Chain A
Amino acid sequence: SADFPSQATGDVRIAANFVTHAPPGEFNEVFNDVRLLLNNDNLLREGAAHAFAQYNMDQFTPVKLDGSEESVLITEHGDLGQGRFFDPRKRVSFRFDHLRKEASDPQPYEGETALRSWRDACDEALSAYVKEHYPTGVCTVYGKTVDGQQTIIACIEGHQFQPKNFWNGRCRSEWKFTISQSSAQVVGVLKIQVHYYEDGNVQLVSHKEVEESIVVTNETQTAKEFVKIIENAENDYQTAISENYQTMSDTTFKALRRQLPVTRTKIDWNKILSYKIGKEMQNA
């Protein structure tokens, strides 16, 4: 990689940081602004390329392969290096352009055949669940050996981008469990981010970690249990967020500024004025 003076290196690190924190659906806007500020396209492209890739993998960016109705998610689990990712359902690897968000050059990719039946069963059960609960949801399920353990990794993503109405939102969840033993732990991370910026600027950024035990029997039964755990946890999470809003409105927000004074009537400024003048006349 090229040699840049230290000031420029610091600046490009800041630029990269802005880009990785772009709210869902706003990557292009942040990228264009950062490009103007930095005013050095070569530096930006080379110094921040890792940031563009990191952003897409963090966000579980969905992409459609040519001629396919279904999308696959860009995640760290599908990263093959050299700008290539794989789709475990279609058994295909492809090149991914992180700025254009386009897939190209598909090649057959077998993945780990020993885990195929487990992966397929979980994918089928999970896809049915996602259709039932996510209006715009996409899921990708991997069967991989991680740290010597045969692991199922399920990724779910759903987003709505409505920049014309000044809002964007995305939820992501990632669920894992190992199939090596009859008793395992299902570990999940759920994330929601919403940005609403009409005449203002409000963001909701939330995440939750979940752990539940599961009994590993056969592919079909275990997949069913797995999805049941996911459904319950994600329903609970969504309910909790709604309840948080109510709490926030009833207590915290009120603790910062009440809608009405404790007296339940608005201030009578003329009363305060005559009281003040009266007091000063007394003291004069």
Chain B
Amino acid sequence: VRVIVRVCACDCVRVIVCVPSLCEDLLSSVDQPLKIARDKVVGKDYLLCDYNRDGDSYRCSTEYRDLYFEGGVSSVYLWDLDHGFAGVILIKKAGDGSKKIKGCWDSIHVVEVQVRAGAPLPVQTGINNVNCFYLPNLGNMDMENKIRSTLNEIYFGKTKDIVNGLRSIESLPDNQKYRQLQRELSQVLTQRQIYID
């Protein structure tokens, strides 16, 4: 049995070929799979995206990445704003290709931190590392866990339910059973609600 997960990124290119004027709008609103590049000086991989700026890169807290992804590549790019800073956190993990299954997880987290004038600064002794102060707040924004649960339970669960609504392994001897199946399917599908705050 072959099951293929569709990749729609290449369709972007086809649309741009037809209508070149849409190029910028399309590329800024559709996320492409993250590309990996190699920093030969340090000997480490990093990820490419719109926000890359030469000389502004910062290595992400690898503790988080390794605990959740057991490997993978991550990059963080931060830049100053008038009243704070913003950043993008990129994570890419490809499956190891074992057991005839291919997969890839790409995360793009965009963050903006506003520092209000007069707010108390973290107490640090001779260290200039403001980023550490914000780490617990950024780390606790548990978007990835929610999305991962949603993917597992709702998206995959729902497509499986739809397949089982198209065909029944058990016999449907009469109309009554068919109507019952329809009712059950409707119930199951309405129960699977999505909650993303």
Contacts and interface: CB of A to CB of B under 8 A. Distances in A.
B101 A252 contact: yes
Interface in B154-197: 155-160, 162-169, 171-173, 178, 181-182, 189, 194, 196
Nearest to B5: A203
A242 interface: yes
A235 B164 CA distance: 11
A273 B181 contact: no
Nearest to B125: A281
B173 A200 contact: no
B182 A135 contact: yes
A45 B139 CA distance: 53
B136 A273 contact: yes
Given A14-B18, A267-B63, A261 B4 contact: no
Given A203-B5, A234-B167, A244-B1, A133 B95 contact: no
A238 B166 CA distance: 10
A15 B129 CA distance: 53
B96 interface: yes
A241 B160 contact: yes
A206 interface: yes
B160 A135 contact: no
Q: How large is the interface on B (under 10, 10 to 19, 20 to 34, 35 or more residues)?
A: 35 or more
B126 interface: yes
Interface string A246-275: 011101110111110111000101101100
Contacts, number: 190
Given A10-B17, A256-B93, A277 B127 contact: yes
A55 to B, nearest CB: 16
Contacts of A234: 167
Interface string B65-98: 0011110000000000000000000000111100
A269 B140 contact: yes
Nearest to A277: B132
Interface in A179-236: 192, 194, 196, 198-208, 234-235
Given A194-B163, A257-B144, A258-B69, A267 B155 contact: no
A198 B172 CA distance: 30
Q: How large is the interface on A (under 10, 10 to 19, 20 to 34, 35 or more residues)?
A: 35 or more
Interface stretch (A75-83, A97-105, A146-154, A164-172): A164-172
A168 to B, nearest CB: 8
B105 A257 contact: yes
A11 B148 contact: no
Contact of A256 (B67, B95, B132, B165): B95
A245 B169 contact: no
B11 interface: yes
A95 B55 CA distance: 66
B166 to A, nearest CB: 5
Given A249-B152, A281-B127, A167 B162 contact: yes
23 contacts: A37-B19, A37-B22, A133-B167, A134-B168, A137-B167, A160-B166, A196-B155, A206-B3, A241-B1, A241-B3, A242-B163, A251-B99, A252-B99, A253-B151, A256-B104, A257-B105, A258-B68, A259-B149, A259-B152, A263-B67, A267-B67, A267-B139, A270-B136
- Listed from nearest, the 6 A-B pairs whose CB atoms lie closest are A261-B67, A269-B136, A256-B105, A269-B139, A202-B155, A203-B6
Interface of B: 1-6, 8, 11, 14-15, 17-19, 22, 61, 63-64, 67-70, 93-96, 99, 101, 103-105, 124-127, 129, 132-133, 135-136, 139-140, 144-145, 148-152, 155-160, 162-169, 171-173, 178, 181-182, 189, 194, 196
